[in-house]
Amino acid sequence: MEILGFCLAIIMGFTLGLLGGGGSILTVPILVYVLAIDPILATAYSLFVVGTSAFIGGWRKHVRGLVDWKTVFTFATPSLISVFLTRYYLVPAIPAVVFSVGDFPLTKDIAIMIFFAAVMLMASYSMIRGNHNSEDQPLRSRNIPVLIVQAAILGIVTGLVGAGGGFLIVPALVILVGLPIKKAIGTSLVIIAINSLIGFMGDIGSGQNIQWSFILTFTAFAIIGMLLGNYATHFVNPAKLKKGFGYFVLVMGIFIIVKETLL
């Protein structure tokens, strides 16, 4: 199962490199359902894997001039504060049993996975709908207050589920900031890297038992996949695959909800 998990890490990284986002949302299900890692620890590991992969991808976009650094600092500052506080204070404060309905106890692990599944459903909707595919958007004035509020909310979501949230960041940068889609993707990768790695630092500070040999190996396989995915963009049109991947994420989200509540 460990070998299978590492192979799936390559696939996850490949999807991230090919589509520019979305692939990271597969990390937690791989860690939980294939490698049998506790959901809370899995979200911590996911933050490290996603953050490291996004950092490499963001650096490559920066070299090509596809990162808006003013937007990075405007968006990342409130977001990284909320993601750190979420991992350091909120996640450890969630009770072991949130509440019970009859004979069904909603445990902390189940609650995290159901919330994660809800995020997957939102991600699938964004990918299937695909309303932000134009190459050029007219640059408009930055709606700073709305951007800051959305960044803070996104930081909480990222901290809870361990996913980068590119499916939310990219539309926000296109709609609220007016960035062209390619620059929005590059800027999003840098924001995701900052948020995820800061959130992971919150886990270290809260005393999570990190198995470094495992997480570094898993991340290395994910990076290999991401580099292969980047290379594949020369031969495959990512836009044609994104909707199909969205349907796959939709099925995975429904599966998680059914497994955690009914099976």
CA distance 163 to 177: 22
Kindly tell me if the per-residue pLDDT of 134 is higher than 80: no
**What is the predicted pLDDT for the residue at 217?**
92
Percent of the chain with pLDDT over 70: 84
Residues 6+ apart with CB under 8 A from 135: 180, 181, 182
Enumerate the domain spans of the chain.
Answer: 2-261
- Angstrom distance (rounded) from CA 127 to CA 15: 13
Confidence at residue 179, expressed as pLDDT on a 0 to 100 scale: 77
Q: What is the pLDDT of residue 133?
A: 47
| SS3 category, 146 | helix
- pLDDT category at 162 given cuts 50, 70, 90 is low
How far, in Å, CA of 122 to CA of 209, rounded?
A: 31
Cα–Cα distance list, 108 to 44, 54, 91, 105, 184 (Å): 15, 28, 9, 9, 34
Cα angle 184-189-194, degrees, rounded to a multiple of 5? 125
**Host H or E run for residue 97:** strand 97-101
Q: What pLDDT was estimated at residue 137?
A: 44
Write the pLDDT tens digit of every residue in 181-214.
Answer: 778 778 888 888 887 888 788 777 766 778 888 8
Q: What is the rounded CA–CA span in Å between residue 146 and residue 149?
A: 5
Most confidently predicted of 26-30, 139-143, 207-211, 243-247: 26-30
Residue 246 pLDDT: 77
87-110 confidence digits (pLDDT tens): 788 878 888 888 887 777 888 888
Report the alpha-carbon angle 63-69-73, nearest 5.
140
With cut-offs at 50, 70 and 90, classify the pLDDT of residue 70.
confident
